[in-house]
Amino acid sequence: MKLNELFLKGDVDRIMAFPPNKNYKDEWIWAYSKNGKYNVKSGSWLVAQPIVYQELLPVETSRQNNLKSKIWEVDTMPKIKMFMWRVLSGALAVAECLRAHGMQAIQICQICKNGNESVVHVLVECDMAKQVWLNVKIPLPQQGVAKTTADYMEYFLGLMGKATIPGKYKRAIPWLLWGIWKQRNAKMYAGNGGDADIIIAQALEEAEEWKRVNSLEMVTEVQRVSGFGLENKWPPTCVLKCNINSSWVNSSRMCGGSWIVRDHRGEVKFHARDAFLPAQNRIVAELRCLLWVMQSLLDLRILDVEIWSESGAALEALNNPRDWPRFRSYLDRFYKLKLHFHQLKLTQSSSKANVVARKIASSVTMEARLHSYLATGGPTWLSSIIHQESRS
C-alpha cells in the first residue's frame, strides 16, 4: 500500500483511523477537541500549555474571548472562521502585526499608499475594502466610533444579525472579509487582483453555495430515550428494530461489533458479529460498526429499520455533521448508505435496553472471538434475555 511506503506504521494507523474524504477540499480543523471543532475548554487548555503558540496571542481581554467564541458560531466555512479568529488575534501577516513581532516590514500600505497597514486598514479602510463595503451597501461605522480590530469584528458580527441588511449580503460578510484579505495577498505577492466587484461576486456565490450544501444535509432524527426499563421498544409491524453495539478496548484499540434484528414482537430475525481493525477511539469504533451494520442490512434487503445505538457521541456527530469535521468521511458514508433505505431511524438506546447487542460485541474483545459470522435467529447463550425482552 502506498501509505506504507510514505509513512511510518504508527502514522499509517492514525491516517487510516480518519481516512481523508476526497470529495472535500482540505481544511483546517481544531486538533485539540474530540470532534475537531473548536470549543472554549480545549482552547483554554491549549493556551495554558507552556508552548510557543502562547507567544503569538496578544494579551486577552474578556471582551476578545467573548468575540472569539462568537466567531465559532458564525455560519461559514471553518477556514473562514479560523481566518476571523486570526483577525481578532492580530495573527495576520500585515505590516503592523509583523513589526509587533520584531520583523522587518514596510509600514505603509502597499496597495493604496494611504495609511499604515494594520488589520483594520486592510479589511476596512483601504481603498479596495472601502469599495467592497460601499458596493454591497453595508454601512461602516462612523469615523471615530470604531477603532480597534475588536471594535470592527464586533460591528460586523452585529450586522450579521441585523434585520435591515438584505439576507444575501448579511450571510456573505464572512466571505467578503476573507475575499478582501485574499485579494490583498494577490495584489501584494502576485501583482494582480483588487477588483471590488470580483470580490463581491465570488463572496456572494460561495456564501450561497455554502448555504445550499448545508441545507441539503439531511438531518437524521435522533430520538433520545431517557430512563430505563419499560421503553416503547418494539417497532410497528413493517419495521424491524436493530440494536447495535461496538466494543472498544482502550489499551489495545481492539474493537468488535454486533447487531441483532428483531421484529415488532421481539422475535429475532438475524444477528451478526465482527472484529474490526483497531480504532483510535470509541466514537470511531461505533461509527465503523454502524457503517458495517448498514451495509449488512442492505445486503439482506432490510430497508425499513430502526437502529438503536448507545453511543450518544456518535449520534450527536451524525445529527450535526458540520460540528464533527474530524469524522467527516464516516459521516459522509453514512449519508450515502442512508439513501438506499426506505426508512432509517436512529435512536439512542439506554444501556439496559441494549444488553443483548453489548454482550455479543464484548465477546469479541473480552473473549477474543475474532471470527465473524451472520446467523438467523439469536445466539442460544442469550436466549433467556431475548425471551424476557420479547415479553416486555
Would you tell me which residues interact with Zn ion (CB under 5 A)? 109, 111-112, 126
Report the residue number, 143 or 237, with the smaller CB distance to Zn ion.
143
Report the residue number, 69 or 110, with the smaller CB distance to Zn ion.
110
Measured from the CB of residue 126, what is the shortest distance to Zn ion in angstroms?
3
Measured from the CB of residue 201, what is the shortest distance to Zn ion in angstroms?
22
Measured from the CB of residue 88, what is the shortest distance to Zn ion in angstroms?
20
Report the residue number, 176 or 239, with the smaller CB distance to Zn ion.
176
Which H, E and C letters describe the chain, residue by residue? Answer: CHHHHHCCHHHHHHHHHCCCCCCCCCCCCCCCCCCCCCCHHHHHHHHHCCCCHHHHCCCCCHHHHHHHHHHCCCCCCHHHHHHHHHHHHCCCCCHHHHHHCCCCCCCECCCCCCCECCHHHHHHHCHHHHHHHHHCCCCCCCCCCCCCHHHHHHHHHHHHCCCCCCHHHHHHHHHHHHHHHHHHHHHHHHCCCCCHHHHHHHHHHHHHHHHHHHHHCCCCCEEECCCCCCCCCCCCCCCEEEEEEEEECCCCCCEEEEEEEECCCCCEEEEEEEEECCCCCHHHHHHHHHHHHHHHHHHCCCCEEEEEECCHHHHHHHHCHHHCHHHHHHHHHHHHHHCCCCEEEEEECCCHHHHHHHHHHHHHHHCCCCCCEEEECCCHHHHHHHHHHHHC
Measured from the CB of residue 342, what is the shortest distance to Zn ion in angstroms?
59
Quote the Cα angle for 376-253-299, to 5°.
Answer: 30
Measured from the CB of residue 151, what is the shortest distance to Zn ion in angstroms?
19
Report the residue number, 87 or 109, with the smaller CB distance to Zn ion.
109
Report the residue number, 129 or 346, with the smaller CB distance to Zn ion.
129
Measured from the CB of residue 184, what is the shortest distance to Zn ion in angstroms?
8
Measured from the CB of residue 195, what is the shortest distance to Zn ion in angstroms?
15
Measured from the CB of residue 188, what is the shortest distance to Zn ion in angstroms?
10
Report the residue number, 112 or 337, with the smaller CB distance to Zn ion.
112
Strand partners, 305: 240, 344
Report the residue number, 112 or 165, with the smaller CB distance to Zn ion.
112
Report the residue number, 178 or 270, with the smaller CB distance to Zn ion.
178
Report the residue number, 111 or 138, with the smaller CB distance to Zn ion.
111
Q: Give residues with Cβ within 8 angstroms of 276, minimum separation 6.
A: 246, 255, 256, 257, 285, 288, 289, 292
Report the residue number, 2 or 113, with the smaller CB distance to Zn ion.
113
Sheet with 373-376: list strands edge to edge: 222-224, 343-348, 304-309, 240-248, 255-262, 268-276, 373-376
Measured from the CB of residue 185, what is the shortest distance to Zn ion in angstroms?
13
Measured from the CB of residue 89, what is the shortest distance to Zn ion in angstroms?
21
Report the residue number, 30 or 152, with the smaller CB distance to Zn ion.
152
Q: Looking at the chain, how many residues does it have?
A: 392
Measured from the CB of residue 172, what is the shortest distance to Zn ion in angstroms?
22
Q: Give residues with Cβ within 8 angstroms of 251, minimum separation 6.
A: none
